Structure 1
């Protein structure tokens, strides 16, 4: 009589599906985020991808500990790269913000430099305390950043018989204008222009040209040097004042002197 002997078998442990997707995603996003972080303007992309990679990497490591995944190295590397991308994003943000700030400062400086420069009045005695908006007096100085302009008092002038700009019956007056270059670069004096008005109605006072006056400013003025020119203007016989407006150039605002005549 025979008996079948069977060895009892222990039940097999249930199979757990391997879930390596989070670790792989963390690695891919970490690599892209780190590369983006090396380009400062892409700091925002590095920050986003780095944060996601770090989170996925940490969650993936949790799966590895629970034996739900077996890509511990990939998951750890993804988390580390995610952290690196976050650090690079902060550095990139600092670099980008600093660069933008410096660029804005340079633009503002360029705009300020290109804007017309306001003259501040300095003069002899108490005349320098005058409000420049009301006009300067004879001998007062209009001081710019790089120039100083002075207009003398008006003196009677006798033009030649056929001098252009003079009308018979009117009176002529001469003024001496001095431009001093107080800057560090040479100044193109040919850019300086003068205009004049006379009387209470402010009629145009024509500039007189003859063999003694009318040439205007010419050439350049070196730093520390001056240029002096005499101008003559035609005014109505009853005019009591002569307004002289001097514009040193395109980069400077015009200044005005109110001179007594008659």
Structure 2
């Protein structure tokens, strides 16, 4: 009697048992992400799909190396397309933010061009309470404590600049510079409520008029918010960062699109 002494062969995995799903998914998401990246406004979608496709593609390639999948070309293509979608998302974000910034600049320019101008071509600014409509003496800025009064009886007053000590985690303060704070008071002397959320304050320092960055910390930087009812006042404190050798600070307060900005020339140092 004879016996078959051959060692039995281990069963080979069937094609159905191969785990090709990740590579296929990576390819699909990579294609969608890349197409989305071609449209700048969809940069966010391209970024999300690109990250997922890249991760799935890399994991799928790991399965191919371990013999758990056999779609190496698909997984590689999916990973590459995921990376391409990420690059396109960055480009799209830059294009989108640049376009928005340019649009805002154009709107601001249009508002400035629409503002009434005096014969000299300059936009007239609001003046003091004693002389409404005339910004200080011979076009100079207002002094500390002066009040700028508008036609609708809105009144803006800026205090003198006093030294300020920024908090430990303050934003906008540069080491070696000095910080100054001013108090801005807005009084609504008109008959309609005033939206204080549109009020902005900016500053320049020194003879060269360098931008004095606004400081934000736990004490300053919140500005104005809400509305001011007729006959009521609102107060906010602003702090600005100025070069150590600056001798003056020009503070400009803009009550909103319907009001021209007023400037105060403040002594510091």
TM-score, with normalisation over the residues of structure 1? Answer: 0.53
Q: Is the 8 A contact 2:148 2:156 kept in 1?
A: yes
Give 1 or 2 for the bigger CA radius of gyration.
1
**Structure 1: distance between partners of 2:177 and 2:196:** 30
Task: Structure 2: give runs of 5+ residues left out of the alignment.
Answer: 1-113, 117-123
Q: Which structure 2 residues correspond to residues 21-32 of structure 1 after superposition, within 5 A?
A: none
**Structure 1: distance between partners of 2:184 and 2:266:** 13
Match of 1:134 in 2: 140
CA displacement 1:194-247 (0-9 Å, x = unmatched): 110000000000000011000010000000000000000000000000000001
Shift of 1:133: 1.7
Q: Is the 8 A contact 1:197 1:242 kept in 2?
A: yes
Report how many aligned residue pairs link the two structures. 146
Detail structure 1 runs of 4+ shifted over 2 Å in the superposition.
114-118
Give SS of 1:196's match.
strand
Give SS of 1:177's match.
strand
Match of 1:185 in 2: 192
Aligned pair partner of 1:200 in 200, 207, 226: 207
TM-score, with normalisation over the residues of structure 2? Answer: 0.51
Q: Establish whether residue 215 from structure 1 lines up as the match of residue 227 from structure 2.
A: no
Match of 2:257 in 1: 250
**Structure 1: distance between partners of 2:136 and 2:194:** 27
Give SS of 1:252's match.
coil
**Structure 1: distance between partners of 2:177 and 2:256:** 30
**Structure 1: distance between partners of 2:127 and 2:209:** 25
Q: Establish whether residue 261 from structure 1 lines up as the match of residue 268 from structure 2.
A: yes
Q: Is the 8 A contact 2:161 2:181 kept in 1?
A: yes
Give SS of 2:266's match.
strand
Q: 1:258 to 1:123 in 2, by over 3 A?
A: farther
Q: Is the 8 A contact 2:142 2:265 kept in 1?
A: yes
Give SS of 2:190's match.
coil
**Structure 2: distance between partners of 1:241 and 1:179:** 23
**Structure 1: distance between partners of 2:213 and 2:125:** 27
Task: Structure 1: give runs of 5+ residues left out of the alignment.
Answer: 1-113
